[in-house]
Structure 1
Amino acid sequence: MSKLPVAVIGAGRLGLACAEGLIDETELGLAGVVRRPGSLAPLPGRLQRFPVASHVRELEGVRAALVCVPADAVLGVARELLQARIPVVECAAFEGKALAAHHAALHEAADNHRVAAVVGAGWDPGVLPLLRGAFEMLIPRGHTALHRHPGLHLHHSAAVAAVRGVKGALAGDYRGDQGELQHYVYVELERGAELAQVQAAIAADPLFAGEVTQVFEVEHLSELEEGNGLGVVLERRGSAAHGPHQSLLLEARFDANTFSARVMLDAARKLPGLRRGAHRYTVGL
């Protein structure tokens, strides 16, 4: 089966992540990367053998495009591609009315030129709102809290490492939207240790008492020390009047560009089967 030739528009961190991902795809192929005329230097690493152009028309056989430019430039770039009858995928970070207006403009352009477009195909917007919606569907009555801690600096915690059952620990502090101090503690446990008991011991420690403290188990602290990506904690606590009090907790550490690139590739695989017009990204698109 022949691969769908895909152009990547933009050579920033997201664009390079998309291009790298396309190399390993079985259904999609990298047709080339479009970047600013003054930045046509060869691409790094494995990407060196692929063409670099200042405009998509300079690339051969492009059947789809991943728009990886700053949010304020996405609409203009996407419209030009749609006018050329090239289906697009984008992940511009708009919310509320701005997102609705952006979607409407791209839908009009895609519909007029009889091609498909996928909007919001990234981490946020994209997957994160879907996860939040799933949490709220599963627990209809309750409160949702979302904590982001990009670039959270982690340090070794002697106090936590001294807790029975803890092999090693890293901790970081983060100020919430209201200025409240929150602690994130990552522990590597000794064999046979119970996370619940360790969490209780940490919560009772005067260093953390009375403050929001999230404790998470990791397999190897060394992997966490090497990472410098995005951190997210999504929590949904039920408030039903009857029955058990349910809760859901998602803790994630990842590189946002890598995740967004994977979502954009997933959307690109679906493009050939989509009707004309713009479609908001969902996992089952």
Structure 2
Amino acid sequence: MAKLNIAVIGFGRVGRACALALRNTDYLALAGVVRRPTSPIKLPDPLGEIPVVTHIRDLKRIDVALICVPADVVLGVARELLQAEIPVIECAVLEGHALEMHYDAIGDAARHHSTRAIVGAGWNPGMLRLFERAFTTLIPDSHTKRTSRPGASLHHTKVVEGIEGVKGALATETRDWQGKLTRYVYVELAKGAKGVKGAKGSEGASLDKVEAALAADPLFVGEQTHVFEVESIATLEEEGRGIMLERIGTERTGAHATLLLEGRFDVPTFAARVMLDAAKRIPSLKPGAHRYSLWG
């Protein structure tokens, strides 16, 4: 099966992430990058050999275009590409009524030109909303709390770093709508220690031991604390974005049902991976605009 030729429109953080991700796929090929006339015509390594043009017509056969430009110009770019009968993938960060109008306009253009588009193929809107929908399906009649926080909200904690076998630790706290405090602690265990609960390493550390020590510490007594093991505290400190979703069941839905999603990641990288996943589905779609999903 021949690879689909992909054009990346724009070379900001998402565009660069898409271009880099396209180097390692078996089903997509990076045909080139479209940039403004005032931008450099040569990309930084390792993308230095990739063609850079100022208009997509200067690239050879394009099967799909990934639109990676600011949200306020996405619609204009999408319309121009769809008019040229080039399928598009977009991930514009819009909300509410503006987002719905945006989707409707792209859908009208795609149907008018008998071309395909996938909208909302990013982190948010996109993958994050699929997580939230799954939480709602599994625990209905409740409320999902979403907390977006930068890496700067994490702080070192001497209490945890003083536990035998813990090489380093970071912590953060959140409060729910009732003001109840929940702590999140990230630990890097010393070499040889075991992260599996119930197992002890050469330094005697385990997640069980960390949790037990915190439960007995006056600073943590009476407060809900979640402990997560990470490969490197230093790496965690450098990461700039994070998300936490929490949904707790009620008496009606099952009081003990709780879902927690906690993650730290690079948003453009995640957005790029979603866009590439969407691109491979384009050939199987009917003309019109389709919202990104995990089906197929």
Shared fold, TM over 0.5: yes
C-alpha distance in 1 between matches for 2:216 and 2:41: 56
Tell me how far 1:216 sits from its aligned partner: 2.2
Show CA shifts across 1:65-99 (max 9, x none).
00000001100000000000000000011222222
- Structure 1 range deviating more: 149-158 or 80-89: 149-158
Alignment check: 8 A CA contact 2:139 2:253 kept = no
Other-structure match for 1:284: 295
Q: Hey, what does 1:234 align to over in structure 2?
A: 245
Contact kept in structure 1, 2:244 and 2:260, CA below 8 Å: yes
Deviation at 1:174, TM superposition (A): 7.0
Q: Secondary structure at the match of 2:281?
A: helix
- 1:254 equivalent in alignment to 2:271: no
Structure 2 unaligned regions, length at least 5: 195-199
Q: 1:78 to 1:203 in 2, by over 3 A?
A: farther
| AA of the residue aligned to 2:128 | L
CA–CA separation in structure 2 for the residues paired with 1:242 and 1:160: 35
Secondary structure of 2:140's counterpart equals coil
Q: Structure 1 pair 31/198, CA: closer, same or farther in 2 (3 Å)?
A: same
Q: Is the 8 A contact 2:6 2:32 kept in 1?
A: yes
- Determine the structure 2 residue equivalent to 1:223: 235
Q: Given the superposition, is the C-alpha separation of residues 199 and 23 from structure 1 closer, same or farther in structure 2, using an over 3 Å criterion?
A: same
1:56-205 mapped onto 2 (5 Å cutoff): 56-163=56-163, 166-172=166-172, 183-189=183-189, 190-191=193-194, 192=200, 193-195=205-207, 198-199=210-211, 201-202=213-214, 205=217
Structure 1 window deviating more from structure 2 (138-147 vs 158-167): it is: 158-167
Q: Report SS of the residue matched to 1:128.
A: helix
Displacement of 1:249 after TM fit? 0.9
Q: d(CA) in 2 for partners of 1:55 and 1:207?
A: 60
For residues 176 and 56 of structure 1, do their structure 2 counterparts lie closer, same or farther at Cα, with a shift above 3 Å needed? farther
Q: Which residue of 2 aligns with 1:30?
A: 30
* TM-score for both structures, normalised by structure 2: 0.86
Distance 1:175 1:79, change over 3 A: farther
Q: How far is the alpha carbon of 1:163 from its aligned partner?
A: 3.5
- Give 1:46 shift: 2.0
- Specify the SS of the correspondent of 1:142: coil
Distance in 2 of aligned mates of 1:242 and 1:114: 45
Checking the alignment, whether the CA contact within 8 Å between 1:123 and 1:263 is kept in structure 2 is: yes
Contact 1:142–1:239 (Cα < 8 Å) also in 2:
yes
Letter in 2 for 1:19: A
Q: Deviations over 1:77-134 (max 9, x none)?
A: 0000000000000001122222211111000000000010000000111111101111
SS at 1:235 equivalent: strand
CA RMSD, aligned part only?
Answer: 2.6
Which is richer in helix?
1
- The Cα of 1:217 is off from its aligned counterpart by 2.1
SS class of match (1:37): coil
Q: Secondary structure at the match of 2:61?
A: coil
1:272 to 264, 267, 283: 283
* Residues 179-218 of structure 1: CA deviation (Å, up to 9, x unaligned): 9987542112443245355335435544456777553222
Secondary structure of the 1:46 match is: coil
2-structure distance, mates of 1:149, 1:102? 27
One-letter identity of the residue aligned with 1:138:
L
Q: State the alpha-carbon separation in 2 of the partners of residues 242 and 57 from structure 1.
A: 55
| 8 Å Cα contact 1:33-1:52 kept in structure 2 | yes
Cα distance between partner residues in 2 of 1:206 and 1:176:
21
TM-score (norm: length of structure 1): 0.89
CA offset digits 1:111-170 (Å, max 9, x no partner): 000010000000111111101111111112323111111243544321111235634212
What residue is the counterpart of 2:19 in the other structure?
A: 19
Identify the range of structure 1 (197-206 vs 81-90) with the bigger mean alpha-carbon deviation.
197-206
Task: Assess if the C-alpha contact under 8 Å between 1:67 and 1:74 holds in 2.
Answer: yes
Report % sequence identity. 56
